[in-house]
């Protein structure tokens, strides 16, 4: 169990694992169990084999679309059938890593000879490999291609029907043939305001990112071979395309260099910029000047292409609302084209300097070329050596930590401040109350909307706050670097250009309406005013609330704003858990009671009747809508609570009060021991 949404990648080699939020992990650190309801298991039967030239990315995107269509949130997925045996361990890991995108807790592959081959290829000794094989056989975990286990539901996927695919332009489950990008972008109905030398849907960012696809050397090698052919044809990415390669491990540099592909990648713009999370989490840096100028003139609506998991609006870059997921070699092809509307199935990628039209079919490597390059490049010793080098990073080793029993908080720090919820004894937020909706949101609100990780815009309210504390407006870093400062993260909550607040859709970014006064104000200011006046607040949203990263600050920010409950049509598993760990009650609304159909207006209130002693898992909760005009409406809602431990956390006010109560006992509740920080305030 890991504190990252990508933890399910381990299922690709037969190790059952899933991700949890950091708040849930803290319970384990203090001796509390981590619990989950016994899940339903969805079987995905794979048959046939992937056609030549079709990648593991294409399969992962196909699985994501198929499973999102039936809904598997909180469930386990297991892959079985004869097609499993045709997939390498690397390919399986690409599919398993997409589990958060198809909504499942895990995407498990059984163990077979391909798993053992992976262990050998990554430096495990013969005795360990033999032990794994013997254990899998004895425990019934070895792949039997003919087995037909009993599952809650079964989905059939024929591998030989998978084609070259992209997902987008705003969600990873929206699957399309790669040649359909023009039609998809035409549906955006963007009309340039002025002429520009750039295509109207110019590719601004093209990135091969770390965990999803570079976990499979085959995909990186395929990208390198495509880059080699492009280089030989004299092709380069246009000046308006920002390119990058961020593999997850230095081992990638070793095998690419040994295969002679690293120079080819660098020649077409895909040199290694670092190891780990880069563009797919919003760390791409500024857009190219040509793009910024054309955007300012209204001449372009640029697009990102990347080989990551997520293309949510604004995630890749706060100024980009369109993006496509695709395989690493296809990322390079689109980068060379520079135009997201290019039909690469029929139109040339580029015209070479010698006047020859170069098509994608001319550049795409065949399986024999990939196999030969892998044989030249991959060495088992690379992986252990790279791991040891990363683990012995001198920068980490040189970090100093205080030796005092209690952490010495620096009141002048703008990076690390003690948050109000890091204290014993906050009361439970359960009970009966009538609350104003702080925000009303639609479907697919992601953890990036709730707590952004990208660069802090220098013209934002968050930047104004930091500058007032003495920071340099031109050197504010990214939101992720400020997660230790609760005052920054409270102001950053819901700060997204792509987030529509249905209470006041025309309000500026990061604003809402304070219903009693009618004033439009920054969300944290409105929340402070509600708190000061003794008014409760809740949040209303649509389907898939909290999709994306396992970011606990997405729940912490909501608690800082005083949100007592979130009412949504459906929740993503990890975010639902994080809400509970912050003492926020998740309530699942009936399908006919979504935010659009409720048509909430400022002044409407929501009455929730949920006494702490009566709450039970999946209990029906009485909710009434109190309209500003005096009308009332009863709603059906279900507590999205699964276990007795979750009940206890809600009754305690969250995970931190529960930990402190268990660790310190009655001492945690005595006034002289509590030393609580001041109440949440808009003032520093």
pLDDT bracket for residue 411 (50, 70, 90): confident
489: its two tokens: 């993260």
Please report the pLDDT score of residue 96 as a whole number: 96
DSSP state of 446: B
Rounded Cα distance, 300 and 294, in Å: 6
- Phi/psi for 197 (5° steps) reads -70, -15
* pLDDT at site 670: 45
> What is the rounded end-to-end Cα distance, in angstroms, of the chain?
37
Sign of CA dihedral 370, 376, 380, 381: negative
Selection from 195, 221, 197, 196 nearest residue 208 by Cα: 221
Residues 297-324 have pLDDT tens digits of 999 999 999 998 888 888 888 889 999 9
Rounded mean pLDDT of the chain? 92
Residue 6 — very low, low, confident or very high, per pLDDT cuts 50/70/90?
A: confident
Identity of the highest mean pLDDT range in 30-34, 241-245, 398-402: 241-245
**Taking 70 as the threshold, does the pLDDT of residue 29 lie above it?**
yes
Tell me the pLDDT band of 226, cut-offs 50, 70 and 90. Answer: very high
Pairing of strands 632-639, 242-245: unpaired
pLDDT given for residue 310 in this prediction: 87
Q: How confident is the model at residue 522 (pLDDT cuts 50, 70, 90)?
A: very high
Give Cβ neighbours of residue 189 (< 8 Å, ≥ 6 apart): none
What average pLDDT does the segment 386-400 reach? 84
- The band of 595, judged by pLDDT with boundaries at 50, 70 and 90, is very high
Asked if residue 26 lies in contact with residue 3, where contact means CB atoms within 8 angstroms, the answer is no
Spatial separation of the C-alpha atoms in residues 198 and 323, rounded to whole Å: 17
**Cα–Cα distance, 50 to 187 (Å, whole number):** 31
Question: Does position 95 have pLDDT exceeding 90, yes or no?
Answer: yes
Paired with 522 in beta bridges are 511
Length of the chain: 684
Question: Which pair of tokens denotes residue 308?
Answer: 């990551």
Sign of CA dihedral 284, 286, 291, 295: positive
pLDDT of 674 > 60? The answer is no
Res. 672: pLDDT tops 70: no
Residue 677 has pLDDT above 50, yes or no: no
Its sign, for the CA torsion 356, 361, 365, 366, is negative
- DSSP annotation string for 485-540: -HHHHHHHTT--TT---TTSTTSPTTEEEETTTTEEEEHHHHHHHHHHTT-EEEEE
What whole-number percentage of the chain has pLDDT above 90? 75
pLDDT score at 535 = 97
d(CA 133, CA 85) in angstroms, rounded, equals 15
Task: Compute the distance between CA of residue 203 and CA of residue 216 in angstroms, rounded to an integer.
Answer: 25
pLDDT at 35: 83
DSSP strands (E only) in 143-199:
153-158, 165-167, 175-177
**What pLDDT score was predicted for residue 666?**
54
- Count of C-beta atoms within a 10 Å radius of residue 133: 17
Report pLDDT digits (tens) over 64-85. Answer: 999 999 999 889 999 999 999 9
Kindly report the number of other CB atoms within 10 A of residue 126's CB atom: 9
What number of CA atoms fall less than 13 Å from residue 524's CA on the CB side? 22
Taking the C-alpha atoms of residue 74 and residue 574, their distance in angstroms, rounded to an integer, is: 9
Radius of gyration of the chain (CA): 26
| pLDDT tens track for 614-663 | 999 999 999 999 999 999 999 999 999 999 999 999 999 999 898 888 88
Q: Is the pLDDT reported for residue 55 higher than 80?
A: yes
Which residue from 170, 109, 175 is spatially nearest to 143, judged by alpha carbons? 109
What was the pLDDT predicted at 682?
A: 40
Cβ-contact 621, 608 below 8 angstroms? yes
Tell me the β-bridge partners of 156.
Answer: 45
Averaged over 390-412, what is the pLDDT? 86
- The pair of three-digit structure tokens given for residue 152, joined into one six-digit string: 């809650």
Distance CA 432, CA 268 (A): 62
3-state secondary structure of 618: coil
Which of the given ranges, 456-465, 507-516, 543-552, has the highest pLDDT on average?
507-516
Q: DSSP secondary-structure letter at 380?
A: H
Rounded to 5, what percent of the chain is helix, strand, coil?
Answer: 35, 15, 45
> Among 317-321, 522-526, 560-564, 675-679, where is mean pLDDT lowest?
675-679
pLDDT digits (tens, 9 = 90+) for 464-488: 999 999 999 989 988 888 989 999 9
H-helix or E-strand containing 608?
A: strand 605-610
Q: Please compute the mean of the pLDDT values over residues 405-434 and round it to a whole number.
A: 87
The pLDDT, as a whole number, for residue 454 is: 81
Which secondary structure element, helix H or strand E, spans residue 610, and what is its range? strand 605-610
Enter the tokens of residue 626. Answer: 């109190």
* Model confidence at 158: pLDDT above 60: yes
Can you give the pLDDT at residue 679?
Answer: 44
Q: Is the pLDDT of residue 668 over 80?
A: no
Burial class (CB in 10 A: 0-12, 13-18, 19+), 400: exposed
Question: pTM score, two decimals?
Answer: 0.90
pLDDT class for 426, splitting at 50, 70, 90? low
Distance CA 163, CA 428 (A): 52
Write the CA distances from 24 to 16, 578, 618, 658, integer angstroms.
18, 7, 20, 12
Q: Report which DSSP code applies to 7.
A: G
Cα 682 to Cα 428: distance, rounded to the nearest angstrom: 23
Mind listing the pLDDT tens digit for each residue in 159-198? 999 999 999 999 999 999 999 999 999 999 999 999 999 9
pLDDT score, position 5? 83
- Residue 667 pLDDT greater than 80, yes or no: no
Residues 6+ apart with CB under 8 A from 623: 567, 587, 606, 607, 608, 609, 634, 635, 636, 637
Name the strand (E) or helix (H) holding 559: helix 553-560
The encoded tokens of residue 394 equal: 């001198």
Dihedral sign, Cα of residue 81, residue 83, residue 88, residue 94: negative
Q: φ, ψ for residue 210 (rounded to 5)?
A: -75, -75
Instruction: List Cα–Cα distances, 65 to 150, 166, 201, in angstroms.
Output: 23, 11, 25
Q: Indicate whether 681 pLDDT > 50.
A: no
Residue with tokens 């949100």: 563
Cα 433 from Cα 140, distance rounded (Å)? 52
């Amino acid at each position: 169990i890991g504190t990252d949404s990508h933890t399910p990648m381990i299922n690709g080699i037969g190790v059952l694992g899933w991700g949890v939020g950091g708040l849930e992990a803290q319970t384990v650190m203090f001796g509390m169990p981590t619990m989950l309801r016994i899940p339903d298991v969805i079987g995905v039967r794979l048959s046939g084999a992937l056609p030549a030239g079709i990648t593991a990315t294409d399969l992962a995107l196909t699985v994501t679309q198929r499973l999102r269509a039936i809904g598997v949130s909180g469930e386990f997925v297991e892959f079985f059938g004869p097609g499993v045996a045709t997939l390498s361990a690397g390919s399986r890991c690409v599919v398993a890593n997409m589990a958060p995108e198809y909504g499942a807790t895990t995407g498990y592959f059984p163990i077979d000879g391909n798993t053992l081959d992976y262990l050998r290829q990554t430096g495990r000794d013969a005795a360990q490999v033999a032990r794994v094989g013997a254990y899998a056989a004895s425990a019934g975990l070895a792949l039997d291609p003919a087995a037909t286990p009993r599952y809650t539901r079964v989905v059939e996927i024929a591998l030989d029907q998978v084609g070259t695919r992209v997902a987008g332009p705003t969600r990873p489950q929206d699957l399309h043939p790669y040649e359909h990008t023009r039609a998809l972008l035409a549906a955006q109905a963007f009309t340039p305001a002025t002429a520009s030398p750039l295509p109207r849907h110019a590719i601004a960012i093209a990135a091969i990112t770390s965990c999803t696809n570079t976990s499979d050397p085959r995909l990186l090698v395929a990208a390198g071979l495509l880059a080699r052919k492009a280089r030989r044809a004299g092709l380069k990415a246009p000046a308006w395309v920002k390119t990058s390669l961020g593999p997850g491990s230095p081992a990638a540099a070793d095998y690419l260099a040994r295969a002679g592909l690293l120079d080819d990648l660098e020649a077409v713009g895909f040199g290694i910029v670092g190891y780990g999370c880069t563009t797919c989490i919003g760390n791409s840096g500024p857009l190219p000047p040509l793009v910024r100028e054309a955007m300012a003139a209204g001449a372009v609506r640029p697009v990102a292409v990347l080989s990551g998991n997520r293309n949510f609006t604004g995630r890749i870059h706060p100024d980009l609302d369109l993006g496509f997921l695709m395989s690493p070699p296809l990322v390079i092809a689109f980068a060379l084209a520079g135009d997201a509307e290019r039909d690469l199935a029929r139109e040339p990628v580029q015209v070479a300097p010698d006047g020859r039209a170069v098509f994608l079919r001319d550049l795409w490597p065949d399986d024999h070329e990939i196999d030969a390059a892998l044989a030249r490049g991959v060495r088992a010793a690379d992986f252990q050596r790279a791991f040891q080098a990363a683990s012995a990073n001198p920068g980490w080793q040189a970090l100093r930590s205080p030796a005092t029993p209690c952490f010495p908080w620096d009141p002048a720090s703008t990076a690390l401040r003690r948050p109000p919820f890091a204290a014993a004894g906050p009361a439970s937020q359960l009970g009966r109350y009538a609350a104003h909706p702080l925000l009303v949101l639609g479907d697919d609100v992601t953890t990036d909307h709730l707590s952004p990780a990208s660069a802090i815009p220098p013209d934002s309210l968050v930047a104004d706050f930091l500058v007032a504390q003495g920071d340099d407006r031109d050197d504010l870093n990214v939101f992720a670097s400020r997660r230790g400062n609760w005052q920054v993260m409270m102001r950053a909550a819901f700060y997204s250009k792509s987030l529509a607040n249905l209470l006041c859709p025309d309000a500026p970014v990061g604003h809402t309406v304070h219903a009693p006064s009618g004033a439009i104000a920054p969300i944290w200011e409105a929340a402070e005013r509600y708190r000061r006046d003794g008014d409760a607040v809740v949040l209303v949203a649509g389907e898939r609330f909290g999709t994306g990263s396992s970011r606990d600050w997405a729940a912490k920010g909501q608690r800082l704003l005083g949100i007592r409950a979130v009412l949504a049509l459906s929740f993503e598993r990890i975010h639902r858990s994080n809400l509970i760990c912050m003492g926020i009650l998740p309530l699942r609304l009936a399908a006919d009671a979504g935010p659009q159909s409720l048509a909430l207006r400022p002044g409407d209130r929501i009455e929730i009747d949920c006494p702490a002693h009566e709450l039970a898992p999946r209990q029906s909760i009485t909710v009434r809508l109190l309209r500003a005009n005096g009308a009332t409406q009863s709603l059906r809602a279900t507590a999205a609570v699964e276990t007795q431990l979750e009940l206890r956390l809600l009754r305690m006010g969250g995970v931190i009060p529960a930990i402190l109560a268990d660790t310190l006992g009655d001492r945690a509740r005595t006034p002289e021991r509590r030393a609580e920080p001041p109440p949440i305030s808009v003032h520093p």
